[in-house]
Structure 1
Amino acid sequence: MGQGRNRDYLIKTASGSVLWRNQKFLRPIPEPGVARDGMKESPTGTTVSGFKYLGSILTEDGRLYIEIETKVQKANTVSYLLAPLLKHPNIPIETKAKLINSIFIPTLIYQCQTWTLTKSLARKITTCEMRCLRRAVNKTRREMIRKTTIREMVGTAPVLHYIQKQTLRWFGHLTRMAPHQLVSKAHNKKISGYKARGRPRKTWIEGVKETLKTHNIPPIQAVNLARDRKIFLPSTPKTVQEDG
């Protein structure tokens, strides 16, 4: 059992699955054979609130808080292990940039092509990114150097730009996918039923449209480019929406 300021969790790997317990986002996991707190017993086993599959954490409510938190923790661990190299004054900054691009960033944004990022989640990812980059140039937040300047010193693009590129890449796959395939059916399916009160949650395709709007690509043109395998973003982003 691990304790945190805003969470407590339980990882159970006896059967090869990972079960999560979180006070804020998930329901508590009951003892084996006991159904309580919304957990359901079925003839084939216990219905859990979340599980890990191929590096992604799937939750009952479909939110990304747990997955992003896990990715950030793993990326911080990688950054800590790379700290002796990133802080070494005799290692060229080009070599440090290659280490960051080949080890740190893939750990942070693994399976990011299906993410639907809110402002708070994007800020959390950017904070983790800048912590590693400041370590590479031996700068601290107290020096009040802008993020764009830090990235220019290291020679890397914003991590949110990597996420946008992967998202559009998956959008291209989804556009070219046959209608009878399961992923295409799930994407095009219309959900009917009662809608809860409040503002609707941001969907994945809305995030894709925001990315296209940022780069001045009309949605119809994006579909045609995706079918021809010609949709891509420039290596150097024009603008990336972030704080600071």
Structure 2
Amino acid sequence: MRSLVTFIFLYACELWTLTAELQRRIQAMEMRCYRKTQHISYKDHVTNKEVRAKTQQAIGPHEDLLTIVKRRKLQWYGHVSRSSGLAKPILQGTVKGGRRQGGQRKRWEDNIREWTGLEFGKSQRAVENRGKWRKLVVKSSMLPQRPSRFRD
């Protein structure tokens, strides 16, 4: 799975806004791939936890797709924020006016705020120190989004 499927799947993942539904779909796709590579059907009544354990035993320790997506998104944010290209003003730009009324849709920068725990302005300053930002990326991408009981 790591050789081909992962790279195709992760194409432009830095630009995704990770909603709860998208995270669930990423995890489901990953489990489908693990089951296919190990020839385990859902009819066999093998739990996801057992499938992950067999996968870990077969290929060794590895990051799940959701962790990779989070890490790549945070790394890209740091890269663009330190650059002086066109992507920086586009990323930091805002549109005049407020957000729509009612339940708010999740925005791209909402993911960054959730994972790092920093407001947008503070994260812009944190990005300037590459060493600290790298440590924050590793720590933030490893945090579970939901309790593990919902993942298996």
Give the TM bin, normalised by the shorter chain. 0.7 to 0.9
1:199 aligns with 2:103: yes
Structure ranking higher on relative contact order (CA contacts 8 Å, 6+ apart): 2
Q: Which residue of 1 aligns with 2:92?
A: 188
Q: Which residue of 2 aligns with 1:157?
A: 63
Maintained 8 Å contact 2:30/2:65: yes
Q: Where do 1:46-61 residues align within 5 Å?
A: none
Match of 2:13 among 92, 109, 112: 112
- Count of paired positions: 136
Pair 152,191 (structure 1): closer, same or farther in 2 beyond 3 Å: same
1:243 aligns with 2:151: yes
Identity of aligned residues (%): 22
Instruction: Give the Cα–Cα distance (whole angstroms) in 2 for the partners of residues 212 and 109 of structure 1.
Output: 21
**Greater fraction helix:** 2
Larger Rg: 1
Q: Which structure 1 residue ranges, 5 or more long, are not aligned? A: 1-99
Instruction: Give the Cα–Cα distance (whole angstroms) in 2 for the partners of residues 176 and 120 of structure 1.
Output: 31
**Greater fraction strand:** 1
Shift of 1:190: 2.1
Deviations, residues 155-181 of structure 1 (Å, cap 9, x unaligned) = 332210010010011111122123xx3
Deviations, residues 132-174 of structure 1 (Å, cap 9, x unaligned) = 101222322341413x442332133221001001001111112
Deviations, residues 30-63 of structure 1 (Å, cap 9, x unaligned) = xxxxxxxxxxxxxxxxxxxxxxxxxxxxxxxxxx
* TM-score using structure 2 length: 0.73
Aligned-pair Cα RMSD in Å: 2.6
* TM-score using structure 1 length: 0.48
Q: Which structure 2 residue ranges, 5 or more long, are not aligned? A: 57-61
SS of residue matched to 2:18 = coil
Match of 2:138 among 205, 223, 233: 233
